[in-house]
Structure 1
Amino acid sequence: MDMNLILLVVLAAMLVFMFINGRRNAKKRQELEQERRTKMVPGARVMTRSGLFGTLVEFDAEDLTQPAKVEIAPGVVAEMHAQAVDLAPEATPAAADETVQDDETTETADEGYSLNGERVEKLPSDDDTKN
């Protein structure tokens, strides 16, 4: 009988812990979602669930059935499901320091292409790869 009472108290304590922890996590998720909605404004840097980066042109946070419009290249606006678009991850402090210190690459950012994070004059084409 004494062992059953201990088991019952432990079970009750676990249930209370699970209830409190679940509510705390739900509140945290709700706060993050509210922050996301306030930051999803036209001009914000976004990333789709598939990893495509762009600039938010139009987004209705209240009606998620309306497509979000994302500019993925200058003059190219794509309509995407609103729930497939999220804020782009922010740059790490180390990456931000590199862009501040390296002014020459920011001046020539419009010239050439970026391939695996490195600046190149031209992209490899099918003709270059065929032997």
Structure 2
Amino acid sequence: MNQLFLPLLLMLVVAIPLVMGTRKQKRAAQEQQQLQKTLTEGDRVMTTSGLYGTVADTSSETTIDIEIAPGVVTTWLRAAVREKVAPEIEADEPVEDEETSEPTATASSEPEPVEEKAGPQIAPPLEHGKK
């Protein structure tokens, strides 16, 4: 009995983590397949490459069309969809109550200067070979 106890214990110590790891992988694979089957048009998703977009067409069994920008639709394998994400929320301007807002300036006062928003700054092209 003593001769079999140590090898049996050693096999159990090695086998239990292997079995538990396999079960976890199977569960994750099933959840991923379920996600890909339940995608519908309008869902916001992230691909495995980190690209965010909105599902545009789900009519194919193996591919899915994702709109990545207004009017730009690309075709992806369903397996490339990693997860659903919360939809983008447009930031609306806050609405002020009439009672709590400060009095507006009268027509006789000068208007306040409006700050111009700086656009993207573009670096000049590199000129190779000139010194």
Superposed CA offset, 1:66-97 (max 9, x none): x2100011111111222222224559xxxxxx
Deviation (angstroms), 1:28: 2.5
Deviation (angstroms), 1:14: 2.8
* Match status 1:83 vs 2:72: no
Q: Aligned partners of 1:21, 1:74: CA distance in 2, in Å?
A: 45
Taking structure 2 as the reference length, what is the TM-score of the superposition? 0.55
Q: Point out 4+ residue stretches in structure 1 off by more than 4 angstroms.
A: 88-91
Structure 2 SS opposite 1:56: strand
Aligned partner of 1:72: which letter?
Answer: I
Taking structure 1 as the reference length, what is the TM-score of the superposition? 0.55
Deviation (angstroms), 1:37: 3.0
* Match status 1:72 vs 2:55: no
Structure 2 vs 1, CA of residues 14 and 32 (structure 1 numbering), >3 Å: closer, same or farther?
A: same
* Match status 1:107 vs 2:92: yes
Structure 2 vs 1, CA of residues 57 and 50 (structure 1 numbering), >3 Å: closer, same or farther?
A: same
Percent identity of equivalent pairs: 26
Q: Aligned partners of 2:84, 2:59: CA distance in 1, in Å?
A: 17
Provide the residue aligned with 2:112 in structure 1. none
Could you tell me whether the CA contact under 8 Å between 1:44 and 1:87 is conserved in 2? Answer: no
Q: Aligned partners of 1:51, 1:9: CA distance in 2, in Å?
A: 46
For structure 1, list consecutive stretches of 5 or more residues without a partner in the other structure: 92-98, 100-104, 109-119
Provide the residue aligned with 2:49 in structure 1. 50
Larger Cα-atom Rg: 2
Q: Aligned partners of 1:48, 1:30: CA distance in 2, in Å?
A: 16
Structure 2 vs 1, CA of residues 80 and 121 (structure 1 numbering), >3 Å: closer, same or farther?
A: farther
For structure 2, list consecutive stretches of 5 or more residues without a partner in the other structure: 94-116, 127-131
Higher helix proportion (structure 1 or 2)? 1
Q: Aligned partners of 1:16, 1:89: CA distance in 2, in Å?
A: 37
Provide the residue aligned with 1:122 in structure 2. 119
* Match status 1:59 vs 2:73: no
